[in-house]
Structure 1
């Protein structure tokens, strides 16, 4: 995602890392470009949009929930209670991100699994923007065991628990781990993080939260 202006600088923080397979992931304080779809923040990846994850044999594990688009994300630990928009791919193959002018927004990558469905569901958000804290400003504070939930359009609530949180350099974005196929229902939250590079106007890393349906 394009950086957010913070005091005249690009200081965005959204789901850029996750979007690499999806192309982007918002981490602790910004977005990060993975190996899959290029990150929404920074120059597009040379690899172009990532292919859809290979399907897993139907006998491996039945989907926990049927496909239903997400409407709301709630993370009590960091005070996040936000409605979710839909994010696709831009013409250049990079993953879309919520508008920088509204850093309080978050979006679900629609080409991946829906939260609760078997596979990797990816949600991106900014770490900051327009001189204001973004929806995922405190994403890096999450720890294994913290709960979160996603309310879906069919009225069901998919409840997840954090398995791990990592800060990774954008040039080493783990696109397969973020967007690759899973034998269970997983959720990935991505934003920007690490050091802010004054020269490029972007954060150097991504914060990625990995969670699993309980």
Structure 2
């Protein structure tokens, strides 16, 4: 990719992951069912401090303590053809349509509607998958009606392929580099959302243990890099 101008930073304030993790006391946790969690073997070789699944209670979300978002290169409309419309992770059977996500009035990332559990979302004011920079995808692990699209996300392994079908008909293919789980208090915002010159992808859902009182204690994050754009 050479030394292109780095893609805009995806603000860690705008991607307030607590909005994904704490909407409701989710169904599978209440029923005693636990979504797969990544093993230590799937983490980066040199990793930020990892959370313990037994960590107690939710703490203030560190994501909200950073600066406002930086707009993407050019108007959103000029990038419409590169917008993602479908995401597939064959290794875990994920095949989901995608919607655009923006920000709510508090500056937090919106989430897909709970009444459509098999729908993922893309932060549309950041890079699109396949563009230079870090594209961010989010979705539920479960909803009050049962398992949701990213229930099996923690079972993804290094080297797995993620395919993103774009509106222009091209398919951006990514290889999973790492899968990690973090508690809310240890969520490494800069590591997850930092700007990159190369096309990167982050997929985020709930994880890190479950408490009846507070819901999910953290997040599962998949890190992936572009390997092809067909």
Quickly name the TM-score band, shorter chain normalised. Answer: 0.7 to 0.9
What residue is the counterpart of 1:51 in the other structure?
69
- Tell me if structure 2 keeps the 8 A contact 1:53–1:180: no
* Deviation readout 1:140-191 (Å, 9 max, x if unpaired): 1111100111011111110100000000111221211222110200000000
Look up the SS of the partner of 1:210 in the other structure. Answer: strand
Q: Which residue, out of 181, 196, 199, partners 1:182?
A: 196
What is the Cα deviation at residue 101 of structure 1? 2.1
* Equivalent of residue 89 in structure 2, options 67, 75, 80: 75
Q: Assess, with a 3 A threshold, how the Cα gap between structure 1 residues 8 and 210 changes in structure 2: closer, same or farther.
A: closer
CA contact under 8 A between 1:66 and 1:117: conserved in structure 2? no
Q: Please report how far the alpha carbon of residue 53 of structure 1 lies from its aligned counterpart in structure 2 after TM superposition.
A: 8.2
Match of 1:27 in 2: none
Q: Which residue of 1 aligns with 2:123?
A: 109
Aligned counterparts of 1:86 and 1:183: Cα–Cα separation in 2? 23
Match of 2:179? 165
2: distance between equivalents of 1:174 and 1:8?
A: 24
Match of 2:100? 86
Number of matched pairs: 176
Superposed CA offset, 1:45-69 (max 9, x none): 3x266432899xxxxxxxxx99711
Q: Which has the higher helix share?
A: 2
Of Structure 1 and Structure 2, which has the larger fraction of its residues in strand? 1
Q: Which runs of 5+ in 2 are unaligned?
A: 1-19, 36-59, 74-78
TM-score, normalised via structure 2 length: 0.69
Cα distance change on mapping 1:5 and 1:213 into 2, 3 Å: same
Structure 1: stretches of 5+ with no match in the other structure: 14-32, 37-44, 56-64
Give the conservation status (yes or no) of the 8 Å contact 1:128–1:134: yes
- Who is 1:127 aligned against? 141
Contact 2:81–2:168 (8 Å) recurs in 1: no
Normalising by the residue count of structure 1, what TM-score does the alignment of the two structures yield?
0.73
In structure 2, the residue corresponding to 1:144 is in which secondary structure? coil
Residues 1-32 of structure 1 show CA distances to partners (whole Å, capped at 9, x for unaligned) of: 21354179599x9xxxxxxxxxxxxxxxxxxx
Asked if the contact 1:126–1:134 (Cα under 8 Å) also holds between the matched residues in 2, the reply is: yes
1:135-150, aligned counterparts within 5 Å? Answer: 135-150=149-164
Indicate yes or no: 2:194 matched with 1:209. no
Q: Which residue of 2 aligns with 1:59?
A: none
Quote the residue 1:18 is aligned against: none
Q: CA RMSD in A?
A: 2.9
Cα shift readout 1:120-147 (whole Å, capped 9, x = no counterpart): 0011011111231110001011111001
1:46-96: CA deviations, max 9, x gaps? x266432899xxxxxxxxx99711010011001011110010110011110
